Chains A and B, each alone.
Chain A
Amino acid sequence: MICFDNVSKRYPTGLEALKRISFEVAAGEMAFLTGPSGAGKSTLLKLLMLMERPSSGALLINGKNLTRLSRSAIPRYRRQIGVVFQNHQLLSDRTVFENVALPLQISGYPPSETGRRVRAALDGVGLLDKESHYPLTLSGGQQQRVGIARAVVHKPKILLADEPTGNLDPVLSAEIMALFRRFQNVGVTVLIATHDLSLIHTLDHRIICLADGMLISDGGSASGA
């Protein structure tokens, strides 16, 4: 599903964020991306979101080469993936419902179907009763769950998460991880960047470890698809 083939990324400043990275994540697999700060986790996710383009190498998603994707094809590609951001990136001037509805609105779903899907997604993260609240009135864990609902409301095949448990206590973090596992169980490919090693070692999943822009270990797939 996700295939890095000799991918390097050098920023205009000269910083070489990724050096000849090669790995593959199969469809329906859940993997953790880890490593110290500045190891290149964010850059790797940015390449997957097409916020940045690789300097060299090939990046294939579902068999399609992202490096060849034209500017105008980017929106369509991004609609096929779901992204959970580190600081959840909710729009504070819109309600929880409107935030979660955003991807559907962008993809052109009719308003009637939007309501049904948004409620299903909010129900999935256990926040159905908060749909008319504003994000800032929710707790950190709840906000992150709204972010997850927004990331999955359009049923993406790939779910990316950047430090989804960044500011959460262990109990909340475990809840979030349980959510991700449920998505994996229904066939979504999940890639989670995190430096929360204590958390991921309690889970039985593949761990891809980066350091200084290089792949230093790939913990094998413990619980594949």
Chain B
Amino acid sequence: MARNPGLTDLPMRGAKDKKISLADRWKSYIAYHRITLRNAFKKLLVEPVQTLLTVTVIAIALALPSAMFLMLKNVEQLGSGVQASAQLSVFIKKGVTSQQIKQVQKQISDLPKVFSVDYISADQALQEFKALSGFGQALTYLDDNPLPAVFLVQPIRLGTSSSNQVEQLVTTITSFNAVDEVLVDMLWLQRLSVMTDISQKLVLAMGVSLIIGVLLVIGNTIRLGIHSRKEEIVVVKLIGATDAYVRLPFLYSGFLLGLLGGLMASILLVGSLLWIGQSVSVLAALYQSKFDLTGLGFSGVLGLCALGSVIGLCGAWMAVMQHLRTIEPR
């Protein structure tokens, strides 16, 4: 040995286990997190092509179900706009006094889901019919008015489970004494509702399978990273690293990949929506409608990023734990 330091220099002098304080542990923990995050970033940048490919795959897998979900949401909104015009025709029994009619009108307009009630008396109905049908002359030969009095009931704008609520409204109104019959064209509403139900389930199934796909893609990427650091992991474990210590760098990598994937998916979606939105506005204008495409929104972008990050964390976790189990003592 060229130089022979005194024993005071030896690290194990007074080899007593000095307890590390909680504050020091915390400081060290934070420092490790900071270093690890920085290294994870560096690692992504070292292989830009590989990173870009992985992020793109994740982005596409996240964007596809999200796009379908958005489409569905827009269709639903379109449907709910039409539902507002789902008018109920309430026919009043013959021979009901005007007193009773006023009472029924009040009863109906007091119902919570009713937006407006218009009364068309039997005479008014006859006038209208005469004017519109072209039977005007013939009708004057009738002894009395065959037409009943009618209330036109406009339900308030209802939510997605509207067909059920409309049905309830119909039952309630039918149960009133003076009411003869309530008519509503419900069938197509029901069809639309069932169709959106089915599409929702389809989107959900597709979303779940694509999320599993993202999980596997991230898991695989992390597994490659683990493989290239195999020796390092063994050494660090032998020196006394916990599973959490070994896991952290990979969790950060997975998290970053997922987050970037979510961000890119958001960009893809917002871009396509802007592009499609122009055509939709033109179409809506042709129908004299003020329909606007519902976009992703800030919460949607946030949600996609969060979803990506969580999937990234899970994928990385699974890959690391699988590897750590193989190097356990037997």
Q: Which of B60-68, B107-115, B239-247, B292-300 contacts A (4 or more CB under 8 A)?
A: B239-247
Q: Determine whether the beta carbon of B12 is less than 8 Å from that of A152.
A: yes
- Considering the chains assembled together, what is the distance between the CA atoms of A26 and B9 in angstroms? 25
- Considering the chains assembled together, what is the distance between the CA atoms of A79 and B1 in angstroms? 28
Chain A residue at minimal CB-CB distance from B23: A110
Asked whether A74 is an interface residue with its Cβ less than 8 Å from the other chain, the reply is yes
Q: Determine whether the beta carbon of A126 is less than 8 Å from that of B12.
A: no
Instruction: Report the minimum CB–CB distance from B248 to chain A (whole Å).
Output: 11
A-B contact pairs, 13 of them (CB 8 A): A12-B330, A51-B238, A53-B329, A106-B241, A107-B240, A111-B28, A114-B28, A120-B10, A126-B5, A150-B239, A152-B10, A156-B15, A187-B15
Chain A residues whose C-beta falls within 8 Å of the C-beta of B24 in the assembled complex: 108-110, 113
Chain B residues whose C-beta falls within 8 Å of the C-beta of A108 in the assembled complex: 20, 24-25, 28-29
Asked whether A56 is an interface residue with its Cβ less than 8 Å from the other chain, the reply is no
Instruction: Report the minimum CB–CB distance from A164 to chain B (whole Å).
Output: 15
Q: Which of A77, A102, A109, A186 contacts B28 (CB 8 A)?
A: A109
Asked whether B129 is an interface residue with its Cβ less than 8 Å from the other chain, the reply is no
- Chain B, interface size: which category? 35 or more
Binary contact readout A179-200 vs B (1 if CB under 8 angstroms, 0 otherwise) = 1001101111000000000000
Q: Which of A79, A179, A182, A188 contacts B15 (CB 8 A)?
A: A188
Chain B residues whose C-beta falls within 8 Å of the C-beta of A103 in the assembled complex: 239-240
Chain A residues whose C-beta falls within 8 Å of the C-beta of B20 in the assembled complex: 107-110
Q: Determine whether the beta carbon of A178 is less than 8 Å from that of B1.
A: yes
What residues make up the interface of B, taking CB atoms closer than 8 Å to A? Answer: 1-5, 7, 9-13, 15-18, 20, 24-25, 27-29, 31-32, 231-232, 235-243, 245, 328-330
CB contacts under 8 Å to B, within A155-210, are 155-157, 175, 178-179, 182-183, 185-188
Chain A residues whose C-beta falls within 8 Å of the C-beta of B25 in the assembled complex: 108, 110
Instruction: Report the minimum CB–CB distance from A208 to chain B (whole Å).
Output: 22
Chain B residue at minimal CB-CB distance from A117: B11
Q: Which of A107, A110, A157, A182 contacts B7 (CB 8 A)?
A: A182
Q: Determine whether the beta carbon of B329 is less than 8 Å from that of A182.
A: no
